[in-house]
Amino acid sequence: MNTGWIASLAMLLAPIPAGAAWLALCDAGVQLPDTRVLGVYPDPQGNGRQLVISDHAPEGCDALSTAVTAEDIRWAGLITADDAAGMETGVSLLGDEAQGEIRISEIIPDRPLPTPIKRAPPVPLGEDLLQTLDGRAFGVEGRAKVGRRGGAIDLICAAGDAPAGLLLRAGEYRMVRDGRLRVQLESAGSGHFAFAFSDAQRLQRESPLALGDFAADTRPTMHGFTLPRGMAPGEYAFSVLCPAGHARLRLTGLELLPAPGLKAPARAAWVWQPEAWMETAEALFGELERSGANTVFITVPLDGEPLAVSDPERLARFIDAAGHRQVSVWAVEGDPGAVLPEGQVYMVRRASALAGFNASQRPARRLAGVQYDIEPYLLAGFALDTERWLTHYLGTIRALRQAAGMPLEVAVPFWWSGLATDDGPFLEQLATVVDGISVMNYRTDPSQIRAGARPFLAWGAEQQRFVRIALEAGPIPEQTRWHYRPFEQGRLWQLEIGQMRALVLLRRPRANPAGPSFALAYAVPVSGDRTTFRGNTDALDRLLPELETDWAAWPSFAGIALHEYLRIPEAGQAADTEP
Sign of CA dihedral 107, 112, 113, 115: positive
Residue 472 has pLDDT above 80, yes or no: yes
Does residue 1 carry a pLDDT above 50?
no
The dihedral of CA 239, 243, 246, 248: what is its sign? negative
- Residue 374's CATH number: 3.20.20.80
Cβ neighbours of residue 146 closer than 8 Å, sequence gap 6 or more? 135, 136, 137, 153, 154, 155, 156, 166
In a domain, 204, yes or no: yes
Give the 3-state secondary structure of 13-36. CCCCCCCCCEEEEEECCCCCCCEE
pLDDT tens readout for residues 531-566? 999 999 999 999 999 999 999 999 999 999 999 999
Q: How far apart are CA 54 and CA 11, in angstroms?
A: 13
Q: What one-character DSSP code corresponds to residue 574? A: S
Instruction: Judge contact between 228 and 181, C-beta under 8 A.
Output: no
Looking at the structure, tell me whether residues 412 and 382 fall in a common domain.
yes
What's the whole-number mean pLDDT along residues 436-441? 98
Q: Identify whether residues 294 and 428 lie together within a single domain.
A: yes
Q: Is 199 contained in some domain?
A: yes
Pairing of strands 267-271, 293-298: parallel
Sort 231 into a burial class: Cβ within 10 Å, 0-12 / 13-18 / 19+: buried
Q: What is the pLDDT of residue 13?
A: 31
* Four-point Cα dihedral 72, 74, 80, 84, nearest 10: -60
Q: Give the tens place of pLDDT for each residue, 260-299.
A: 999 999 999 999 999 999 999 999 999 999 999 999 999 9
Do 66 and 172 lie in one domain? The reply is no
Q: Residues 236, 169: one domain?
A: yes
Q: Are residues 192 and 226 in the same domain?
A: yes
142/379 Cα distance (integer angstroms): 64
Residues 349 and 438 in one domain: yes
CATH of the domain at 190: 2.60.120.430
356 and 459, same domain (yes or no): yes
| SS3 state at 383 | helix
Q: Is residue 124 part of a domain?
A: no
End-to-end CA distance of the chain: 37
- The answer to the question of residue 125 being in a domain is no
Cα torsion 384, 386, 387, 392: sign: positive
Spatial separation of the C-alpha atoms in residues 33 and 153, rounded to whole Å: 74
Output the pLDDT for position 111: 83
Q: Which of 259, 258, 260, 240 lies closest to 250 in space, CA to CA?
A: 240
pLDDT digits (tens, 9 = 90+) for 385-400: 999 999 999 999 999 9
| Residues of the chain by 3-state class (helix, strand, coil), percent to 5 | 25, 40, 35
Domain extent for 288: 267-477+528-563
Average the pLDDT over 39-52 and give the result: 93
Exposure string for 390-424, b = 16+ CB within 10 A, e = fewer: bbbbbebbebbbebbebbbbbbbebebbbbbbeee
Both 455 and 504 in a single domain? no
Asked whether residue 137 is assigned to any structural domain, the reply reads: yes
pLDDT of residue 205: 92
Q: Which amino acid is at 225?
A: F
